[in-house]
Structure formats: structure tokens, C-alpha cells
Structure 1
Amino acid sequence: MDLSQIAEQIKDASENIFLIYAFNSTGKTRLSVEYKETAKNTDGRQTGVYYNAFSEDLFVWDNEHTKLNIVSSSLNQYHSQLNELDVMDKLKPYNPKYDFRFQSHENLEQGFASISFFMKEDEEQHPVKISRGEERIFIWCFFLALIEVDSWTGEQSDYFFIDDPVSSMDDHNIFITAFTLMNLIEKHYERKKIIITTHHIGLATILSDWLSKGEKAGKFKAIRRGEKNKYKISILEKIGDQYELSNPRNSVLLYHLRVLQILDTAIQEDSLEVYHLALLRQVLENIASFLGVGQFQYVLQQIGFTEESGKMADIINALTHQKVYYPQVGVMVPDNKQILIDVYNALMGKYHFVLHN
């Protein structure tokens, strides 16, 4: 199939949630463009909202005046319903070191012209240039705030297509983005089709686990015999000049080894933070799933924590709750740090994973 046929396949599918993993340069962004064209209604109007590399291209740095200019587009008409607090609310979990202000066009109906950034402690608000990673997080949060504008998403209410929102993010921010995407899915999946594509195996694995085996997975699964799940997890593969959406069970995705490498480095460098417990939990859950059991407490028992497995599972559960990804609880206390190290060492001793550098 070509990408237009893939887009048609997704559009016509009964599932409302599509999670698609693909290597870079496979065609994810082009697929989002094809879907946009395929999903247009009969008079050529857009029926949904998308975020991809072209969305990021609407923001261009003016280095001379140290501000981020916004290229005029059809989205500008909705800017008047946004303010700094709306966007900052989405930014908060990412712990930005800066604040910002919007500059509007003289004609307010044309929306925002640019954005200026300044350090939070700078009362005189001298403009600064934020990093590329910070910029991409800001644009993502701007988009998240914008899709809550009813006049935009109300007119284009059929779908969200989100292509790779985690480029240039570190592991901590990828977890935050995963929670953000799950919140978006939970809020809208019954009324809209939601397509998420990514080249990041960690994000794909986390969302896949939450959709299929997480605490809230029941709401996304088929209830009656003969029904389909409300989600579909696929890998976009290019074979010659053709494409296909394959079943991920036909591919080996060794995300757990990458996570163990990250944990090993953090332990060796004494740089453990609370979110590393979430990474450890992912490994425990992956092993539990491989062993055919539903609870990672079973894995704790298998690696030697027989009597205290329940207590340790409770601690890991508590510290990997959603609030852990907010910065005010990012520092790990020594006792919890030791739990992580002990569990990691026991895992490596039991299963002898080989971590290639």
C-alpha cells in the first residue's frame, strides 16, 4: 500500500485509538498529511486537528529581537481565546525555568504575532532565547492549550493526529508527555479518532502497556464477544516503495534493555531521581507480562524479596503515581534510592541481562 491507502485504512477502521511506531524517515509526517487530505469532507474542509513538524514550522526565531515569531495561519483566528495562563498550565509538569508573554497583532483578530521569553527571577523581563528542547516543549504545550479551544476543535471534531511530540526530550519529559497523551486519549477517545505516531520506542512501549495492560485498560478493551478493542497498536514499515501497518508482536522491541542501561548509568553516576523508579517499574511490569502474570510484585518475589515484596510494591506504586512527574517531588530520599539499587542489582543477578554500550 502507499501512504494514502494506509491513511484510508486508519480512517475506515472501527478503532478510535491508533498508536503507530515507526523508525525515523519511514513516513510518519507524510502519513499525517495524507490523513489530513483523506479525512476532508466533501466540500474540502478539514475535519480534525493535527500536530506534526509543520505545526512546529509555524514558530520561527527572530534572533535580532530575541523573540519567537508566529507565522500567520488559519490557527491565528483562535488565539484570542488563549492566554499565558492556559499555556503555562500545560507547561507546569515540565518545570520550565522561564516565563513568557504573548505579543498580539495590532488587529487582535489576527492573533498573536510573537512570544518573548524571560527568566522567572528577572523582574525587568530581559528577553532570552530558550533551548531547542525547551522550544519544542513550549510549542507542544501551546498546541495542547489550543486544542481545548472549542471553536477550533468544535469545527474540526473528527480526529486528533499527533506525530512525534517527544523529539529532543529527555526520559523524564517523555514520561510527562506520555501521561499528557493518555489524559488526552481518556478525555476524547469516545468522540474522536486519535492517532499517535512516534519514532521513540520508549513512548510507544509505555503507551502500549497502558492501553493494553494498565490500570485503566479495561475501558479500551472489547466488552462483548465479537467486538474489537477500541485501540490498535501497529508498526509502520516501509518495504521498497510500499508501506504496511504490521502487528508489533511480529517484531522484537528491546525497550527494557535501554531502560536498564539508563538505570545502570544513573546508579553509577549517583544521579538517581524519582522518575527512575518509574523506569524500574516499567522493567518489572515487562518481565511480569513475559512471565504471564499480572502483577510486578511476583517478579520481586522471584528475585529474592519474598517477605517484603508487598511493601516494596506499595512503595514503587506510590512513587510512580502521576504526581511523581511534577518537579516538586523529583528528589529521591536515600531509603527509596537504596530500594531501587537493591531491586536493580537483584534483577541483574537473577536474569543476567547483558547491557551493550
Structure 2
Amino acid sequence: MSGVRKYKSLRTLVTRLRDDLSNPTKPTSLLLVYAYNRTGKTRLSMEFKDAGKRKNGGRSDTLYFNAYTEDLFIWENDLEGDAARHLRLNSDSNFFNGLKDLALDKTIAGYLSRYADFEFDIDYEEWKVSFRKGDAEDIKISRGEQNIFVWCLFMAICERLLDGHTSYQSRSFLYIDDPISSLDDNNAVSVACDLAALLRRAASRKDSNGAAAPIKVIFSSHHSLFFNVMCNEIGRAKEDQPKVAHKRYFLHRPNGDDSYILRTTEDTPFFHHVATLAELQRASDPTEGKLYTFHFNALRSIMEKTASFFGLAVISFCLKAINNEEDRALYNRALNLLSHGEYAIHEPTEMGEDNKDLFRRILRDFVHEFEFNVPDIV
């Protein structure tokens, strides 16, 4: 299958990604990777970092952002006084190398003001950050606001890396996995545009002598809107800016084991809902698939997105395309009843045989009536 390759381990997949970025005859500055949650994106980013250490005698060549990065910030909630709360930085991490010398406050504040309305103070001697809003000092910010602050700090560090600061000159790769969780769509677009601008700068970076010195980048995400904005911002021509040589991939782990499929998505982003339909078709295969109760939730979500695309808010729009009135009524009842409830994905419950048959019928008719071109990713 053209544009699709299978890898038996994270290590072999990382070799492929590094080869893409280091190919001397066909250089690529940036890889954009779309993958579902629980595909192994965080582990992939750590394996990429570890591969660099193995290659460079224990010295890291990658500045990365992933779930581990956010864990470097821990709240001190002042349980006794219940007044002076702050965020403590893990000073043992190499992530903060040279932080005292980077003068990041102004750069962080510049980014933060675009997404939030609180302010901060960094105590570099005590390795802590306090927050304020209006007259309120030492406030506890929300998890979403904390994630925004951490991301702005990372973006500021990236700017110093691109500026050539000595603390980060061993880093020749940036690996960014799922930058922000719990973002509303408006902020997702803003953050994606800012990140795309930074990565374009990384791709076209030059050294002090004017020679090309790009920082190579891998960006991965499960957030379909974020990913599509990144693809559009990186792919389109910008006035007075060089074109960014990049590749786009859909990363898939079809059997839940340690084998991975990497699919080239060519000129357009790989749309999340179409990929999900392919997953549902695989799960509904009578001989090799397994259907769980949460698959009804996924199918209903796809129908809602389809209706939304046509400017409507309810899935009855999708069901109206089905000719048989009895089937329409049955499918509507099934989707309303079976796509609600607390279905744990980590401890899934397999469907009964009757519900499996019903699910297959709904999926088959939906895909047929709307003529989806579902990719053969499995």
C-alpha cells in the first residue's frame, strides 16, 4: 500500500522519523504527526529523546515538550495558612538549565497576555512561581491556566534556543507532543498559529555566519482542530518567508500492541472523523474485530460532526438520509440509549450480539448514504 509502512517497535519507528529529518539528499525540517490518544505518542517522544542520547554518548540532542514536562511543575497549596500558594519548579530537571540566565519573564508575559488574564512572578532563587490577578495575590490558578503558563514558558525557552543561547546549543531537535490540553477552540487556533510561526522560524534558522542551521521539529497531536490549523499554517505560502519542507503523517496502532502503522497524508491533513470511521469499521469486523459499548459513543460523535458540517446540530439529519423509516426510528432509539452512560475505555464492556448486529447496520448505512471514502489504514 503506497504511503503506508508498518514498524514493529517504537525504536524502529524513531529511526524512520530521524532519517526523515536527517536525509541529506531530500531534507525535511518538520514532521506533523496526527495520532489518537493512547497510541503511544508520549512514549514515542521519549524514545526519540533516548535515541539521541544513545547516539551522542549520553548527551541529549532534543528539547521536548510532553506530559512529563507538565509534571515538572507542582503546587504548594499552603495548607496551613490557606493564603500563599505557588507553583514549584523541579530544579533537578535539565529542562530548566540556564533558566536564571535566560531573562524569560518578558517573553513569557508576551505570550501569556494573548491567552489569559492573570500575571506571574518567578522567584529564581526559590524555584517557584506565584500568580496574581487584579488585587489578588498568590492565587491558585486553574489546571487549564497552569497548562497555558507552562506552555508559554516552553515557547520562551524555544525562542532562546533559536536565538543561539549557550544553555541549549546541544539541541538540534524539537519534539512537541500535544502542547495544550483542555483548550477551547478559540485558544486552540491562537496557540496553533503562534506555534506554527515559531516552527517556521526554526526551519529557516541561520547561524551567525548566515549559513543554514535549522532546528528540526516533530509535532504530534490528537487534537484534530489544532492539527489542521498547524497543517494549514505550515503548508501555505507566506510572503517574504521561505517554504517549509515538511511531511504529514497519521500514526496508528491497529492491534493495541507494540506495532505501529505510519501513513503519509500527502497534501491535506488527515481528518479525525474519517480516521475514526476506519477504526469503527475495523472494530465491527465480524471475524477479527471487537465491539465495545463505548463504540456507540464514537459513532454518535461522528454523526454529530457530520451534521455540524452541514450546519445542523442534531444527528437526526444523518438518519434522514436512510430510506427505511423503520430503520431510522430504530437507529435513533439505539443511538440515544446506547451512546449514553459511563462506559470506561480503560475497562471496556463488550457489546451483546444483538447490539453488535445493530451497530454494524447503523455504521454500514451511515457510511454508504454519505459516501465516505474511508481509508484502508488497517
TM-score (norm 1): 0.63
Instruction: Using the TM superposition, give the Cα deviation of residue 239 of structure 1 relative to its aligned residue in structure 2, in angstroms.
Output: 2.3
Paired letter, 1:71? N
Query: Match of 2:94?
Result: 74
Residues 3 and 143 (structure 1), Cα distance of their counterparts in 2 relative to 1, 3 Å cut? same
Matched residue, 2:342: none
Match for 2:15 among 8, 17, 28? 8
Structure 1 residues 58 and 263: alpha-carbon distance in aligned structure 2, compared to 1, 3 A threshold: farther
Shift in Å, 1:258: 4.4
Partners of 1:100 and 1:35 in 2: CA distance = 33
Match of 1:91 among 108, 112, 115: 112
Deviation at 1:192, TM superposition (A): 1.6
Residues 178/8 of structure 1: CA separation in 2 closer, same or farther (3 Å cut): same
Q: Where do 1:319-334 residues align within 5 Å?
A: none
Report the secondary structure of 1:39's partner residue: helix
Query: Aligned with 1:97: secondary structure?
Result: coil
Structure 1 position 244 matched with structure 2 position 261: yes
Shift of 1:259: 9.7
Aligned to 1:62: 76
Quick check: 1:101 aligned with 2:121? Answer: yes
The answer (yes or no) to whether the contact 2:30–2:217 under 8 Å persists in 1 is yes
The 1:60/1:74 distance shift into structure 2, 3 A limit, reads same
Shift of 1:251: 5.9
Measure the CA separation in 1 of the matches of 2:224 and 2:120. 32
Residues 258 and 153 (structure 1), Cα distance of their counterparts in 2 relative to 1, 3 Å cut? farther
Task: Rate the CA distance shift 1:104–1:231 in 2: closer, same or farther, 3 A.
Answer: same
Query: Is the counterpart of residue 29 in structure 1 residue 42 in structure 2?
Result: yes
Q: How far off its partner does 1:166 sit?
A: 2.4
Tell me which amino acid in the other structure corresponds to 1:27. G
Q: CA offset at residue 86 of structure 1?
A: 2.2
CA-to-aligned-CA distance 1:14-71 (integer Å, 9 cap, x gap): 3221000000010110010010011234321011211111110000111124111111
Counterpart selection for 1:114 from 112, 116, 128: 128
Q: Please show how residues 232-311 of structure 1 align to structure 2 within 5 Å.
A: 232-240=247-255, 241=257, 242-248=259-265, 253-254=272-273, 258=305, 261=308
The match for 1:206 is 229
Deviation at 1:151, TM superposition (A): 2.0
| Distance (Å, rounded) in 2 between the aligned partners of 1:100 and 1:251 | 38
Kept in 1, the 8 Å contact 2:193–2:229? The answer is no
Larger radius of gyration: 2
CA distance in structure 2 between the partners assigned to 1:74 and 1:254 by the alignment: 38
Q: 1:178 to 1:135 in 2, by over 3 A?
A: same
Give unmatched runs, 5+ long, in structure 1: 106-111, 222-229, 267-351, 353-357
Distance in 1 separating the partners of 2:95 and 2:124: 14
1:184 matched residue in structure 2? 198
Give the RMSD, CA atoms, in angstroms.
3.0
User: Is the alpha carbon distance of 1:232 and 1:99 closer, same or farther for their aligned partners in structure 2, counting shifts above 3 Å?
Assistant: same
Cross-structure match for 2:218: 195
Deviations 1:113-144 (A, max 9, x none): 1111111x21xx52111111111010000111
1:18 aligned partner: 31
The worse-fitting range, judged by mean Cα deviation, of 128-137 and 68-77 is: 68-77
Across the two proteins, how many residue pairs are aligned to each other? 249
Distance across 1 between alignment mates of 2:228 and 2:152: 22
Q: Among the aligned pairs, what percent are the same residue?
A: 29
Q: What is the distance in 2 between the residues matched to 1:237 and 1:75?
A: 29
Provide structure 2 residue ranges, at least 5 long, that are not aligned to the other structure.
1-6, 79-83, 205-213, 275-301, 314-369, 371-378
CA contact (8 A) 1:210 1:217 kept: no
Alpha-carbon deviations, 1:132-165, whole Å to 9, x = none?
1111010000111122331233221x11000001
